[in-house]
Amino acid sequence: MDAKSSDRDLGAPLLILPGLLCDSRMFGETLAAFPGSAVVDGFYAGCDRIEAMADYAIARMPGRCALLGHSMGARVALEVIRKVPDRVERLALVDTGVHPVKPGEREGRYTLRDLGRDQGMAALVAQWLPPMMGFAGLRDEALMDLLYAMAVDAGLATFEAQIEALLHRPSVDALLPTIACPTVAIVGRQDQWSPVAQHEAIAATIPGAQLRVVERAGHMMPAEAPRAFHAGIQEWLAMPAHAHIS
Protein backbone atom coordinates (compact mmCIF):
# COMPACT_ATOMS: atom_id res chain seq x y z
CA MET A 1 0.00 0.00 0.00
CA ASP A 2 1.03 3.55 -0.52
CA ALA A 3 2.06 5.80 2.33
CA LYS A 4 -0.70 7.45 4.31
CA SER A 5 -0.52 11.15 4.97
CA SER A 6 -2.08 11.16 8.45
CA ASP A 7 0.16 12.50 11.18
CA ARG A 8 0.81 10.77 14.48
CA ASP A 9 1.22 12.40 17.86
CA LEU A 10 4.98 11.88 17.66
CA GLY A 11 5.42 13.84 14.45
CA ALA A 12 5.86 12.80 10.85
CA PRO A 13 4.31 9.44 9.87
CA LEU A 14 6.41 6.29 9.90
CA LEU A 15 7.22 4.93 6.43
CA ILE A 16 8.85 1.50 6.08
CA LEU A 17 10.97 0.37 3.13
CA PRO A 18 11.13 -3.45 2.96
CA GLY A 19 14.13 -5.57 2.13
CA LEU A 20 14.82 -8.32 -0.39
CA LEU A 21 11.67 -10.34 -1.19
CA CYS A 22 9.74 -8.58 1.58
CA ASP A 23 6.47 -6.65 1.69
CA SER A 24 4.02 -5.45 4.34
CA ARG A 25 3.58 -9.01 5.67
CA MET A 26 7.00 -8.62 7.26
CA PHE A 27 5.74 -5.65 9.29
CA GLY A 28 2.17 -6.59 10.17
CA GLU A 29 2.68 -6.13 13.91
CA THR A 30 4.56 -2.86 13.39
CA LEU A 31 1.75 -1.42 11.30
CA ALA A 32 -0.71 -2.35 14.05
CA ALA A 33 1.51 -0.90 16.79
CA PHE A 34 2.06 2.46 15.07
CA PRO A 35 -1.21 3.89 13.68
CA GLY A 36 -0.66 5.99 10.58
CA SER A 37 2.42 4.01 9.58
CA ALA A 38 2.75 2.51 6.10
CA VAL A 39 4.93 0.18 4.04
CA VAL A 40 6.02 0.89 0.49
CA ASP A 41 4.64 -2.31 -1.02
CA GLY A 42 4.80 -3.75 -4.51
CA PHE A 43 8.39 -5.08 -4.37
CA TYR A 44 9.58 -1.75 -5.85
CA ALA A 45 7.76 -2.55 -9.12
CA GLY A 46 10.63 -4.63 -10.44
CA CYS A 47 13.26 -1.89 -10.19
CA ASP A 48 16.77 -3.27 -10.64
CA ARG A 49 18.77 -0.35 -9.21
CA ILE A 50 18.74 1.12 -5.71
CA GLU A 51 18.42 4.63 -7.13
CA ALA A 52 15.25 3.66 -9.03
CA MET A 53 13.83 2.02 -5.91
CA ALA A 54 14.43 5.30 -4.07
CA ASP A 55 12.50 7.18 -6.76
CA TYR A 56 9.66 4.65 -6.41
CA ALA A 57 9.61 5.25 -2.65
CA ILE A 58 9.81 9.04 -2.96
CA ALA A 59 6.76 9.02 -5.24
CA ARG A 60 4.82 7.27 -2.46
CA MET A 61 6.12 9.27 0.50
CA PRO A 62 4.18 11.83 2.49
CA GLY A 63 5.62 15.33 2.44
CA ARG A 64 7.79 14.46 5.42
CA CYS A 65 8.28 11.14 7.22
CA ALA A 66 10.17 9.08 9.74
CA LEU A 67 11.92 6.68 7.37
CA LEU A 68 12.74 3.10 8.36
CA GLY A 69 14.58 0.79 5.99
CA HIS A 70 15.07 -2.92 6.62
CA SER A 71 17.95 -4.80 4.97
CA MET A 72 17.98 -3.75 1.29
CA GLY A 73 15.32 -1.21 2.22
CA ALA A 74 17.86 0.59 4.40
CA ARG A 75 20.08 1.06 1.36
CA VAL A 76 17.04 2.45 -0.44
CA ALA A 77 16.41 4.76 2.53
CA LEU A 78 19.94 6.12 2.27
CA GLU A 79 19.34 6.97 -1.38
CA VAL A 80 16.09 8.69 -0.41
CA ILE A 81 17.93 10.81 2.12
CA ARG A 82 20.59 11.59 -0.49
CA LYS A 83 17.92 12.75 -2.95
CA VAL A 84 15.40 14.51 -0.63
CA PRO A 85 16.99 15.01 2.80
CA ASP A 86 14.49 17.71 3.75
CA ARG A 87 11.65 15.16 3.56
CA VAL A 88 13.20 12.75 6.07
CA GLU A 89 12.60 13.79 9.69
CA ARG A 90 14.51 10.82 11.13
CA LEU A 91 16.15 7.63 9.88
CA ALA A 92 16.23 4.02 11.12
CA LEU A 93 18.60 1.53 9.46
CA VAL A 94 17.60 -2.03 10.41
CA ASP A 95 19.48 -5.31 9.86
CA THR A 96 21.58 -3.92 7.04
CA GLY A 97 25.05 -2.86 5.91
CA VAL A 98 26.74 0.03 4.15
CA HIS A 99 29.73 -1.83 2.70
CA PRO A 100 30.42 -2.34 -1.01
CA VAL A 101 29.99 -5.72 -2.68
CA LYS A 102 32.06 -8.29 -0.80
CA PRO A 103 34.22 -11.02 -2.36
CA GLY A 104 31.99 -13.98 -3.17
CA GLU A 105 28.75 -12.03 -2.77
CA ARG A 106 27.98 -11.96 -6.49
CA GLU A 107 28.58 -15.69 -6.82
CA GLY A 108 26.39 -16.45 -3.80
CA ARG A 109 23.50 -14.39 -5.08
CA TYR A 110 23.77 -15.88 -8.56
CA THR A 111 23.83 -19.41 -7.11
CA LEU A 112 20.44 -18.72 -5.54
CA ARG A 113 19.22 -17.15 -8.78
CA ASP A 114 20.24 -20.21 -10.74
CA LEU A 115 18.57 -22.50 -8.20
CA GLY A 116 15.36 -20.55 -8.75
CA ARG A 117 15.71 -20.81 -12.50
CA ASP A 118 16.32 -24.56 -12.33
CA GLN A 119 13.97 -25.65 -9.54
CA GLY A 120 11.56 -22.77 -8.98
CA MET A 121 11.01 -20.04 -6.44
CA ALA A 122 9.98 -22.42 -3.67
CA ALA A 123 13.36 -24.13 -3.78
CA LEU A 124 15.17 -20.77 -3.79
CA VAL A 125 13.27 -19.53 -0.73
CA ALA A 126 13.71 -22.83 1.10
CA GLN A 127 17.46 -22.31 0.89
CA TRP A 128 17.50 -18.51 1.35
CA LEU A 129 15.15 -18.03 4.29
CA PRO A 130 16.43 -20.27 7.14
CA PRO A 131 19.86 -18.56 7.43
CA MET A 132 18.00 -15.24 7.75
CA MET A 133 16.31 -16.37 10.97
CA GLY A 134 17.35 -16.49 14.61
CA PHE A 135 17.11 -19.71 16.59
CA ALA A 136 13.63 -18.99 17.99
CA GLY A 137 12.29 -17.80 14.65
CA LEU A 138 13.31 -21.02 12.98
CA ARG A 139 11.14 -22.94 15.45
CA ASP A 140 8.11 -20.66 14.93
CA GLU A 141 6.17 -22.59 12.31
CA ALA A 142 3.53 -19.91 11.74
CA LEU A 143 6.15 -17.21 11.27
CA MET A 144 8.20 -19.35 8.90
CA ASP A 145 5.08 -20.12 6.85
CA LEU A 146 4.23 -16.42 6.65
CA LEU A 147 7.69 -15.34 5.54
CA TYR A 148 8.06 -18.28 3.16
CA ALA A 149 4.78 -17.42 1.41
CA MET A 150 5.74 -13.74 1.21
CA ALA A 151 9.08 -14.49 -0.43
CA VAL A 152 7.63 -17.06 -2.85
CA ASP A 153 4.92 -14.59 -3.85
CA ALA A 154 7.61 -12.03 -4.76
CA GLY A 155 8.64 -14.28 -7.62
CA LEU A 156 11.87 -15.00 -9.42
CA ALA A 157 11.77 -11.87 -11.59
CA THR A 158 11.65 -9.74 -8.43
CA PHE A 159 14.54 -11.66 -6.89
CA GLU A 160 16.63 -11.22 -10.02
CA ALA A 161 15.91 -7.50 -10.22
CA GLN A 162 16.61 -6.93 -6.53
CA ILE A 163 19.91 -8.80 -6.47
CA GLU A 164 21.06 -6.78 -9.48
CA ALA A 165 20.16 -3.64 -7.54
CA LEU A 166 22.21 -4.86 -4.59
CA LEU A 167 25.16 -5.88 -6.74
CA HIS A 168 25.20 -2.40 -8.32
CA ARG A 169 24.52 -0.48 -5.12
CA PRO A 170 25.95 3.03 -4.91
CA SER A 171 28.63 3.96 -2.40
CA VAL A 172 27.42 5.72 0.73
CA ASP A 173 30.83 6.45 2.26
CA ALA A 174 30.58 10.18 1.58
CA LEU A 175 26.89 10.34 2.46
CA LEU A 176 26.89 8.84 5.95
CA PRO A 177 28.86 11.60 7.74
CA THR A 178 26.49 14.23 6.30
CA ILE A 179 23.27 12.73 7.71
CA ALA A 180 21.87 15.32 10.10
CA CYS A 181 18.60 13.81 11.34
CA PRO A 182 18.13 11.57 14.41
CA THR A 183 19.36 8.15 13.31
CA VAL A 184 19.33 4.70 14.87
CA ALA A 185 20.85 1.40 13.72
CA ILE A 186 18.89 -1.63 14.97
CA VAL A 187 19.98 -5.25 14.56
CA GLY A 188 19.11 -8.71 15.82
CA ARG A 189 21.85 -10.24 17.95
CA GLN A 190 21.69 -13.46 15.90
CA ASP A 191 21.73 -11.75 12.49
CA GLN A 192 24.32 -13.73 10.54
CA TRP A 193 23.83 -11.86 7.26
CA SER A 194 24.17 -8.33 8.67
CA PRO A 195 25.91 -8.81 12.01
CA VAL A 196 26.11 -6.46 14.97
CA ALA A 197 29.59 -5.25 13.98
CA GLN A 198 28.19 -3.73 10.78
CA HIS A 199 25.70 -1.70 12.80
CA GLU A 200 28.36 -0.59 15.24
CA ALA A 201 30.24 0.80 12.23
CA ILE A 202 27.11 2.54 10.94
CA ALA A 203 26.42 4.16 14.30
CA ALA A 204 30.04 5.28 14.54
CA THR A 205 29.98 6.90 11.08
CA ILE A 206 26.69 8.83 11.22
CA PRO A 207 27.00 11.79 13.61
CA GLY A 208 24.98 11.26 16.78
CA ALA A 209 23.55 7.90 15.68
CA GLN A 210 22.63 5.28 18.24
CA LEU A 211 22.82 1.49 18.19
CA ARG A 212 20.10 -0.87 19.41
CA VAL A 213 20.67 -4.64 19.56
CA VAL A 214 17.62 -6.91 19.86
CA GLU A 215 18.33 -10.18 21.61
CA ARG A 216 17.18 -13.60 20.35
CA ALA A 217 16.49 -12.43 16.79
CA GLY A 218 18.10 -12.79 13.39
CA HIS A 219 17.94 -10.86 10.13
CA MET A 220 14.14 -10.93 10.07
CA MET A 221 14.15 -9.28 13.50
CA PRO A 222 11.09 -6.98 12.96
CA ALA A 223 8.93 -10.09 12.56
CA GLU A 224 10.90 -12.32 14.94
CA ALA A 225 10.95 -10.02 17.97
CA PRO A 226 8.39 -7.29 17.32
CA ARG A 227 7.96 -6.12 20.92
CA ALA A 228 11.65 -5.46 21.44
CA PHE A 229 11.88 -3.94 17.97
CA HIS A 230 8.97 -1.63 18.69
CA ALA A 231 10.54 -0.47 21.94
CA GLY A 232 13.58 0.73 19.99
CA ILE A 233 11.39 2.37 17.36
CA GLN A 234 9.35 4.13 20.03
CA GLU A 235 12.51 5.62 21.58
CA TRP A 236 13.68 6.78 18.17
CA LEU A 237 10.33 8.33 17.27
CA ALA A 238 10.21 10.18 20.58
CA MET A 239 13.52 11.96 20.04
CA PRO A 240 13.27 15.67 19.13
CA ALA A 241 13.26 15.98 15.36
CA HIS A 242 15.58 18.98 15.40
CA ALA A 243 18.33 17.20 17.34
CA HIS A 244 20.55 14.16 16.97
CA ILE A 245 20.07 11.18 19.21
CA SER A 246 22.70 11.59 21.94
**Residue-range definition of the domain harbouring residue 205:** 1-246
- What CATH number should be reported for the domain holding residue 97? 3.40.50.1820
Q: What is the number of domains present in the chain?
A: 1
Which alpha helices (DSSP H) does 59-155 contain, by range? 72-83, 105-119, 121-128, 135-138, 141-154
- Across residues 20-28, what is the average pLDDT? 98
| Residue 205 burial (C-beta neighbours within 10 Å; 0-12, 13-18, 19+) | middle
pLDDT at 242: 64
From CA 108, how far away is CA 189, in angstroms rounded?
23
pLDDT in tens, 155-202: 999 999 999 999 999 999 999 999 999 999 999 999 999 999 999 999
**Quick one: pLDDT band at residue 8, thresholds 50, 70, 90?**
very low
Sign of CA dihedral 14, 18, 23, 25: negative
Specify the pLDDT at position 7. Answer: 37
Exposure letters 96-125 (e unless 16+ CB within 10 A, then b)? bbbeeeeeeeeeebeebbebbeeeebeebb
Q: Is 16 helix (H, G, I), strand (E, B) or coil?
A: strand
pLDDT over 70 at 3, yes or no: no
What is the pTM (predicted TM-score) of this model? Answer: 0.93
